Each structure stands twice: as structure tokens, then as C-alpha cells.
């Protein structure tokens, strides 16, 4: 792996080879019956949460424990960020105490600013723009079940949110075809789509018809229609997104062996029908588990732990 990347802020800024190295290491770590705790012994990860979380917090915290290190949970109320301290100062102070920082917050600019002023690695645990650790774990799950993702057709159905944006980055780096079906007014970020328009290795497009996106797809993804902070829009969004539900009618046009992914939490009867969720729940919960393995690999890579995968 190149040492160009001190931080993990998005998938696009990492070379494809480095991302594939992380997934290879995740395979090694997942296969271990007893995690070797010397990998990050004595290392500490600060975890800043300005948004609520179940999977991100637990998977990073458990991951650090299994690798021999420790994680510090810092909510907005536990730090001076909640009292207006500049994020630059938080970056400088935490860099004197810990070996890495994971942050889950609203603005991607805040994560970039934190990384710019920190001397230790910074990991993006989710922003309103991107969710790179989730999509990297999703790609791991696809390759674990179906093999090499390059040349596959992947569909994303629903809101052009942080998951959609990171899926576009993923397609650009891993070389698979991606079709996103999003309602008008809910498309992915325009700057990220501009990157997709210049892609020479994969076809990436946004369509209005979910059946067009799902046709012959080997992987179908979806996410909630109203993300955190959009609760007041939930009723209006249910009307707009109603035709974009992942259900049996949609799967009827997909590849007969298509897999369905959902990053959770799932709202059965909204973005995914109860029947489809039930049929794919074992895979979806494996997808959630794989956050742990992929993030452990990221932590080993970024925090400089022992790596015997090569």
C-alpha cells in the first residue's frame, strides 16, 4: 500500500490498489478465530460523534478492542466542539493524545478541516455527503458472495444521498457499472456526478425509472428515504419515493441471482418491502457485520499496526 493517504475521508482519493489491499486484509482478519491483539496494542482511537449511531460506534469500538487498542467515545456534549471550539484546535489537541480520530458528523468540510490540522490519521465515519466505510464494507460483502465486482452491474434505488455519492466513488475506483434510480430533485451531488461523467472505466448514470436501473442488475442497494436530520420531511418523502421501493416487482427484472443490500436501519414497507427484507436478511446482517472486519483493516493500515497479510 502506498503511504500517500494519511486519512480515509472518501473512496475516490484512495488508489484502487490500496482499497483492494484493505479488502484483502479484511478477509484475513475475518477468518481469524481469535483476533491477534498485538496489532494495535497501546494505540488509542478518538471517536467523535455529532450524529447518533449504532453500527458505526459499536464496530469501531469493538474493532479497536479486538486489535488490542482502545477507543474513546466523544459525543458533542463531551467535547469543546459543542461549545464552539474551532475544529482546527480540536485536531491539534487530540493529535497530542491519540493515534487516530474517527468522526461522524454533518459537514464533509469539517472532516477535511480536521484531517488537514491533525497529525494523526482521520477516518470519515459518515457525513451528509459521504459514507465511505459503509460502501467499502458493502463492496467487500459483494465480493465475498459473488466474486470480483469489476464488470458487475450494480443498481442503487432511492435517495441520492451520502450512500449514493459513495457508491459513485466506489464504481470509479473498482470499475463496475452503476445505475442509480432517483426521483427528480433528489439526485446525487453534482460535483461527484461530474467525476462520473468523465469515467472511462465504468458506466455510471442516474435514471428516473427504478425498473431501468434494476434490469439485469446483480446487486441492488437501497437506503432510508429520510436520513438523520430529515425527519420533518419524512411524510413528503414517502410520497415522492413510493415508486422507488425495492420489492418483488423490481427484483423480477433483475438478474435471477441478484443480491439485495441495505445499510440499515431498514424501514420495512417503505424503501424495501417486508418480504424482500426477510428473504435477504441473512445477507443484510452479514453486510452489517462486515463493517467490523473492513474497519479493522482500515485501522491496521492507518494506525500503523502489524500486518502479516503480505
Nearest of 151, 122, 150 to residue 9 by alpha carbon: 122
* Residues identified as active-site: 104, 131, 134, 223, 263, 291
Distance from C-alpha of 277 to C-alpha of 297, rounded to nearest angstrom: 28
Rg (CA), the chain: 19
End-to-end CA distance of the chain: 10
Tens digits of residue pLDDT in 252-274: 999 999 999 999 999 999 999 99
**pTM of the model as a whole:** 0.95
Q: What share of the chain is helix, strand, coil (3-state, %, to 5)?
A: 45, 15, 40
Answer whether 198's CB lies under 8 Å from 232's CB: no
Angle (nearest 5°) at CA 213 between 207 and 218: 155
Q: DSSP states of 257-278 as a string?
A: T-EEEE-S---BTTTB-HHHHH
Tens digits of residue pLDDT in 139-170: 999 999 999 999 899 999 999 999 999 999 99
pLDDT at 309: 52
Report in angstroms the alpha-carbon separations of 5 from 1, 11, 18, 171: 9, 11, 9, 19
Name the strand (E) or helix (H) holding 44: strand 44-49
Percent above pLDDT 70 for the chain: 96
Compare 160 and 82 and report the one with higher pLDDT.
160
What is the overall mean pLDDT for the chain? Answer: 94
pLDDT at 9 over 90: yes
Nearest of 21, 293, 305 to residue 141 by alpha carbon: 293
Nearest of 193, 185, 128 to residue 167 by alpha carbon: 193
Q: Which three cell numbers stand for residue 179?
A: 445505475
Nearest of 142, 120, 111 to residue 26 by alpha carbon: 142
Backbone angles phi, psi at 8, to 5 degrees: -120, 90
Amino acid at each position: 500500500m502506498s503511504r500517500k493517504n494519511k486519512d480515509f475521508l472518501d473512496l475516490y482519493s484512495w488508489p484502487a490498489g490500496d482499497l483492494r489491499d484493505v479488502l484483502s486484509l479484511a478477509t484475513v482478519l475475518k477468518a481469524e478465530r481469535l483476533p491477534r491483539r498485538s496489532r494495535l496494542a497501546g494505540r488509542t482511537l478518538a471517536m467523535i460523534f455529532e450524529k447518533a449511531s449504532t453500527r458505526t460506534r459499536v464496530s469501531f469500538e469493538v474493532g479497536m478492542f479486538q486489535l488490542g487498542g482502545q477507543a474513546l467515545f466523544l459525543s458533542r456534549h463531551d467535547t469543546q466542539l459543542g461549545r464552539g471550539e474551532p475544529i482546527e484546535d480540536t485536531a491539534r489537541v487530540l493529535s497530542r493524545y491519540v493515534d487516530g480520530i474517527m468522526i461522524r458528523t454533518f459537514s464533509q468540510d469539517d472532516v477535511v478541516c480536521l484531517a488537514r490540522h491533525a497529525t494523526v490519521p482521520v477516518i470519515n465515519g459518515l457525513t451528509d455527503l459521504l459514507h465511505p466505510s459503509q460502501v467499502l464494507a458493502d463492496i467487500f460483502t459483494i465480493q465475498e458472495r459473488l466474486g470480483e465486482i469489476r464488470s458487475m452491474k450494480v443498481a442503487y434505488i432511492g435517495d441520492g444521498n451520502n450512500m449514493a455519492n459513495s457508491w459513485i466513488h466506489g464504481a470509479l475506483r473498482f470499475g463496475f457499472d452503476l445505475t442509480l434510480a432517483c426521483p427528480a430533485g433528489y439526485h446525487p451531488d453534482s460535483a461527484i456526478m461530474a467525476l462520473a461523467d468523465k469515467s472511462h472505466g465504468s458506466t455510471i448514470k442516474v435514471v428516473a425509472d427504478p425498473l431501468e436501473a434494476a434490469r439485469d442488475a446483480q446487486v441492488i442497494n437501497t437506503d432510508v428515504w429520510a436520513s438523520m436530520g430529515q425527519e420533518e420531511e419524512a411524510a413528503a418523502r414517502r410520497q415522492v419515493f413510493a415508486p422507488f421501493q425495492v420489492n418483488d416487482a423490481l427484483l423480477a427484472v433483475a438478474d435471477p441471482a441478484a443480491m439485495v443490500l441495505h445499510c440499515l436501519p431498514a424501514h420495512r414497507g417503505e424503501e424495501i418491502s417486508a418480504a424482500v427484507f426477510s428473504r435477504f436478511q441473512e445477507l443484510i446482517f452479514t453486510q452489517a457485520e462486515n463493517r467490523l472486519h473492513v474497519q479493522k483493516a482500515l485501522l491496521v493500515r492507518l494506525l500503523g499496526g502489524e500486518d502479516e497479510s503480505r
